[in-house]
Amino acid sequence: MIEYDIVIIGGSLAGRYAAYGAIQLGAKVALVEPENSSELLYSSALNHIACEYRPIVSKMAPSESIDWETAMLWAFGVESQIGAENSLALIAAQGVDVIVGSGQFEQKPHLAFFVNNRLLVGRTYLLATGSHYLAPDIEGLHKTGFLTLGNISFSLEVAPNNWVILGGVPQSIELAQAASRLNCNVTLIVEGSKIISHVDSEVIQLLEAQLEASGVRVLKQTKVTQVLSIDGKKWLQAGDKAIETDEIIVATQTPNIESLNLAAVGVKWHKNGLLVNAKLQTTNNRIYACGDVIGGYTLTNLANYEANIALRNALFFPTRKVDYQYVPWGIATQPPLAHVGITEAQAQQLYNFDEIIVLRQYFKSLPLAQINDENTGVCKIITLKNGEILGASVFGLNAGELINLISLAINQKIKINNFHKIALAYPSVGEIILQAARNWNKIKLEKNNALQELLEDFFQFRRNWNL
């Protein structure tokens, strides 16, 4: 007999978010979390430690300084408030059957999840177990010792003077800049040609320049081959460079799936996460998954978006599909970076050259940016010649709020030329999109000789007629 409409195997904030959503729809829900789930969630949220104390750091004048302990206390305070709003007690009070413990799937006599000597039988299951940080295979790294983005906040009472951060993900970039602004010497090492993928190359170059201006040493296309401990210092062989440091921070991740007995129930995976289809079904169509357990960056809004899709497919009919073109994401640097849709390079691969219009507006022309003395940045929007918005990358003041507006436009098929009909509050960052819309109209007019001649004839007629 089916006991639950859905059994959620959690351990991440996305799991708790899904449990809330399912109970609000009237479903009978079980949420299974490991005994250390509170610590895991705390650690996960503190992956964004740079983001959390960035508001303090970013407001400092160049001559000011803030100590590590103060920054950490502030971050813990913010996190405790966020954690209280997502506690297991509150979820249980909503009617979710919360089971604390570690378990595994069973195939016989029927598909179920076994935990605390109890079989939980659900019509469907949702895996939202998250991920954990895993050190790359580098000679001497384990012997020398390292920290991860997940445990750095628990392990450091005093910030090291010298840091080496391995890997390019949003949280590692945030941490690199924030630590540098806390007067630490930081080296960020990535193996790729860009410090982070899936963002426009032109915009990433601006971010890299800003990191370096903040004091971060950036090494790209660099592979660390060996780590040694010499006279109490850690040394890394990074490409052809030997780097001395006090602490090494690792940013690589792997999904939390080891103890779930997935092979026995036909669920397949690769090194980056579970295999899922566009409906977020695993290779067992009664088991769904969401969040960083299926790979990708650890981003709260992305995990919640996937949870919504997976939840409705699991509870009702599996008809909804993920479309990441509409999902914005960002990096909480100073200034922040945000992205949605496809990049210029991707557009050039999908469309003919003359079908694409690239719009660039710089924040130095934005009144609000001038008022706030935050003139650095660019808003780059990729459109088709019919005005359809394909994607955007924003680096500058309130980039996240801007990208949300552009994301809504993409989702609702609002063309760039329609923005000129909007009268936005003044001053606001949204004005930069109006500037882009005016620029789009100008480009379209410059390419349309017939329209130019028609307008010239029309105004000539008007001038003569008024006489």
Binding site for FAD, residues? 103, 129-131, 292
Instruction: Give the contacts of 82 (CB within 8 A, at least 6 positions apart).
Output: 45
Distance CA 76, CA 89 (A): 20
| Pairing status of strand 97-100 against strand 185-189 | unpaired
The torsion of the CA quartet 375, 380, 385, 388, rounded to 10 degrees, works out to -110
Would you say 401 and 208 are in contact if contact means Cβ atoms under 8 Å apart?
Answer: no
The CA-atom distances, in angstroms, between 217 and each of 164, 174, 187, 195, 237 are 9, 14, 5, 12, 15
Strands (E), 116-191: 118-120, 122-127, 131-133, 147-148, 162-166, 185-189
| Pairing status of strand 287-289 against strand 162-166 | unpaired
Q: What is the DSSP string of 315-327?
A: HS-S-----GGG-
| Pairing status of strand 112-115 against strand 118-120 | antiparallel
Distance CA 226, CA 143 (A): 11
Annotated binding-site residue numbers for NAD(+): 167-174
Annotated binding-site residue numbers: 103, 129-131, 167-174, 292
Would you say 231 and 203 are in contact if contact means Cβ atoms under 8 Å apart?
Answer: no
293 by Cβ neighbours in 10 Å (0-12 / 13-18 / 19+) ranks as buried
The CA-atom distances, in angstroms, between 82 and each of 42, 313, 378 are 10, 28, 32
Distance CA 184, CA 112 (A): 50
How far is C-alpha 75 from the geometric centre of its chain's CA atoms? 19
Instruction: Give the contacts of 49 (CB within 8 A, at least 6 positions apart).
Output: 72, 75, 152, 153, 174, 175, 178
Amino acid at 442: K
Tokens of 47: 């992956």
Angle among Cα 37, 39, 45 to the nearest 5 degrees reads 100
Would you say 363 and 416 are in contact if contact means Cβ atoms under 8 Å apart?
Answer: no
Distance CA 24, CA 17 (A): 11
| Pairing status of strand 162-166 against strand 118-120 | unpaired
